[in-house]
Amino acid sequence: MDFLLMALVVAIYLIVTIYLGYFGFKSTNSSEDYLVAGRKINPAIMALSYGAAFISTSAIVGFGGVAGLFGMPLLWLTFLNILVGIFIAYAVVGKRVRRFGMKTGALTFPELLGKMYGSRFLQVFAGLVVFLFMPLYAGVVLIGASRFMEVSLSIDYNMALLIMAVIIAVYVVYGGLIAVIYTDAFQGGIMLVSMIFLLISTYAFFGGVIPAHETLTSYNDLAVEIFSSKIPGHNGWTAFPTLGSVAWWVLVSSLILGVGIGVLAQPQLAVRLMTVGSDRDLDRAVPIGAFFIFIMVGTSFIVGALSNAYFLETVGKPSIAVAGGNVDKIIPAFINSFMPDWFVVLFLVTLLAAAMSTLSSQFHTIGSALGRDVFQAGLMKGRYDEKTILITRIAIAIGIVFSIFLAYILPPGVIARGTAIFFALCASSFLPAYLGGLYWSKASREGAITSILAGFTISLIYLTFVHAKEASELGICKLIFGVNTIAQFPWTVVDPIVVALPVSTVTFIAVSLVTKQKVRIVEEVKT
């Protein structure tokens, strides 16, 4: 690799990023500027920022690597990402979120929930959930970028982690959401160009779209042979797994449903819907956001799946074997083997952009959750508003340290799984109360509180005692009951969202209906 070229490209990228961070710092004069960018962001910028915050190294490296295992069926997640994460989030839910945020002055997702139901407890509890569990998501995003740097540049993984965290901390802590949004949009543009080139190059290697898919299909029997014992029900890289099998439950419940539905309740994405000035701006953002997600997620999954055909054709091994059994190294291994050096440099910048755009949003959300939603709204009972920015900046620094610690200790191959856990936890905890407060006039404060507590509690219990992956690694079930999990198949591979979200939804509806005093959302906000 030409390290001089790499240093030059990375330096230019960092200079522009730092400038945008400085621009955000100079443009931030109030809590509203710092937390929701003054509610005056251009819709195209918002769409790129939303997409860049949504698509991280978790999607490119983590889920791209998982596509190396499951193949093309993972493209169903792309469909849900666009349907739920863009069309429904922007054109339907986003309009009411924007209006409600404007009407009440809510600046964060937990504050939005709290003001929906007139409950300080909801705001504080949601803030604690975000502050304590979002670092898991941030940690796996850090891992994604650091793994690529480790493979591509042959540098120490721990050093890569430290470099990433320091750069992001500088412009997030000082710049606020204005800096985050503009750097996200810049980074999103880099990601878009790079992924389009990668997709075209990959298909060109096989002679086109149809020959590429035919080549991959020809290896389906081999895939069944390879994964039959480890992932029962796997039918090949271009075939859907057998209904009800281990492969089917993991693919459908954890990867497709967990992330596809969970995106609607992501705090760092919901707050972006409050940064534009009108409903029309949200409509304008739909095609830009949909195209961005289609290219970013679709390319990651297609290339991840086709990496098997490439490696089998060139070295006689599937991608998981080339990556040494670590799915998080499949995409880095493919890029380094298949693409020219100059593109490896570009892709490194792409992953830096993907990681930094998502991490900046995550750290900003983590900080605002502790600073505004827990400390100011809870401990200080709404006082000391002028200190919100300082407290939030301190909280961001705490979140960064916590995320780095998790990135150090989490096991290999954890990127996609960590993302799915956080997305599902947010959906199970917040989604019924969030949507109910926006659309249902009979939604009550008590219904929202019990629903959020039920979804959150069941998710944690399920992860600790039932879901085999997490239960065996945590070891609490083994310590108490002497077994890795207290359940039998299929529950050991069914994602917690399949149980927790229906329970929290039924709880929300039932308690709201029997509660005498209802909390009604202002009608002009809902119409």
Question: Is 214 a residue whose pLDDT tops 70?
Answer: yes
CA-based nearest residue to 135, from 356, 460, 366, 352: 366
Residue 387 in contact with residue 357, Cβ under 8 Å? Answer: no
pLDDT, one tens digit per residue, over 235-255 is: 999 999 999 999 999 999 999
Average pLDDT taken over every residue of the chain = 83
Question: Is 334 a residue whose pLDDT tops 70?
Answer: yes
Q: Where are the alpha helices (DSSP H) in 375-516?
A: 388-409, 415-439, 445-465, 468-474, 476-481, 497-514
Q: What is the pLDDT of residue 48?
A: 65
Q: Which DSSP string corresponds to 80-103?
A: HHHIIIIIIIIIIIHHHHHHHHHH
**Choice between 25 and 55, residue whose per-residue pLDDT is larger:** 55
Residue 468 in contact with residue 455, Cβ under 8 Å? Answer: no
CA-based nearest residue to 297, from 45, 85, 494: 85
For the chain, what percent of residues have pLDDT higher than 70?
82
**Choice between 484 and 94, residue whose per-residue pLDDT is larger:** 484
Q: Which DSSP string corresponds to 170-215?
A: HHHHHHHHHHHHHHHHHHHHHHHHHHHHHHHHHHHHHTSHHHHHHH
Q: What is the pLDDT of residue 425?
A: 93
Highest mean pLDDT among 156-170, 373-387, 451-465: 451-465
Helices then strands (H, E): number in the chain?
26, 0
Domain containing residue 228: CATH number: 1.20.1730.10
Give the residue numbers spanning the domain of 356.
Answer: 3-526
Question: Is 400 a residue whose pLDDT tops 50?
Answer: yes
**Choice between 28 and 322, residue whose per-residue pLDDT is larger:** 322
The amino acid sitting at 52 is A
Q: What is the pLDDT of residue 491?
A: 94
Q: What is the pLDDT of residue 60?
A: 85
At 178, the pLDDT band (50, 70, 90 cuts) reads low
Give the integer Cα–Cα distance in Å for 219 and 206. Answer: 14
Reduce the secondary structure of 317-335 to three states and give it as a string.
CCHHHHCCCCHHHHHHHHH
Q: What is the pLDDT of residue 503?
A: 97
* Range 171-195 average pLDDT: 67
How big is the chain by its Cα radius of gyration, in Å? 22
* Range 173-182 average pLDDT: 57
Give the integer Cα–Cα distance in Å for 40 and 38. Answer: 5
Q: What is the pLDDT of residue 516?
A: 65
Across 356-370, 382-396, 402-416, least confident range: 382-396
* Structural domains in the chain (count): 1
pLDDT, one tens digit per residue, over 296-315 is: 889 999 999 999 999 999 99
Q: What is the pLDDT of residue 523?
A: 46
Task: Give residue for tokens 């780095």.
Answer: 404
Question: Is 86 a residue whose pLDDT tops 70?
Answer: yes
Question: Is 518 a residue whose pLDDT tops 60?
Answer: no
pTM, 2 dp: 0.85
Question: Is 36 a residue whose pLDDT tops 50?
Answer: no
Give the integer Cα–Cα distance in Å for 225 and 337. Answer: 25
Task: Convert 16-45 to b/e letters by CB count within 10 Å (16 or more is b).
Answer: ebbebbebbbebbeebbbbbbbbbebbbeb
Residue 249 in contact with residue 491, Cβ under 8 Å? Answer: no
* Range 286-305 average pLDDT: 89
At 221, the pLDDT band (50, 70, 90 cuts) reads very high
Q: Where are the alpha helices (DSSP H) in 228-329?
A: 246-249, 258-262, 267-270, 279-314, 319-322
The pair of three-digit structure tokens given for residue 434, joined into one six-digit string: 């969030």
Per the rule left: phi > 0, alpha: psi between -120 and 50, beta: everything else, 381 is left
Q: What is the pLDDT of residue 200?
A: 94
Give the integer Cα–Cα distance in Å for 406 and 143. Answer: 9
* Range 71-96 average pLDDT: 89
* Range 127-131 average pLDDT: 91
